[in-house]
Amino acid sequence: MLSTIVLWALVGGALWFFRTTGALVLITIISVLTLREFYQMMHASGYDPFDKFGMVFGALITLAPWWVGAQFGKPVHLLLPLATVVFAVRLLGERTPENRVEALSSTLFGLVYVPLLLQYFVRIVTPMPGDTITPDDRLLLALWLIAATKFCDVGALLTGLAIGRHKMAPQISPKKTWEGAVGGMLLSMGIGALFAWLARGHLPAHMTPGVAALMAAPIAIVGIIADLVESVLKRRANMKDSGATVPGMGGVFDVSDSLILAAPVGYFLFGLP
DSSP string, 125-139: HS--TT-SS-HHHHH
Residue 73's pLDDT band, with cuts at 50, 70 and 90, is: low
Helix (H) or strand (E) segment spanning residue 183: helix 178-198
Average pLDDT score over residue span 38-61: 94
The C-alpha atoms of residue 10 and residue 96 are separated, in whole angstroms, by: 43
pLDDT at res. 61: 94
Give the model confidence (pLDDT) of 52-61 as tens digits. 999 999 999 9
pLDDT at res. 198: 95
What phi, psi does 227 have (nearest 5°)? -65, -40
Give the model confidence (pLDDT) of 75-87 as tens digits. 667 889 999 999 9
* Angle subtended by helix axes 2-44 and 100-113, to nearest 10: 160
Percent of the chain with pLDDT over 70: 96
pLDDT at res. 16: 83
| Reduced 3-state DSSP string for 208-235 | CHHHHHHHHHHHHHHHHHHHHHHHHHHH
Question: Does the pLDDT value for residue 37 go beyond 90?
Answer: yes
What Å distances lie between residue 184 and 1, 142, 171, 187, 211, CA to CA? 17, 19, 21, 5, 18
What phi, psi does 73 have (nearest 5°)? 65, 25
Residue 72's pLDDT band, with cuts at 50, 70 and 90, is: low
What Å distances lie between residue 61 and 56, 195, 197, CA to CA? 9, 30, 34
Question: Does the pLDDT value for residue 229 go beyond 80?
Answer: yes
Highest mean pLDDT among 9-13, 14-18, 264-268: 264-268
The C-alpha atoms of residue 159 and residue 210 are separated, in whole angstroms, by: 23
Question: Does the pLDDT value for residue 8 go beyond 60?
Answer: yes
Give the model confidence (pLDDT) of 161-199 as tens digits. 999 889 999 999 988 999 999 999 999 999 999 999 999
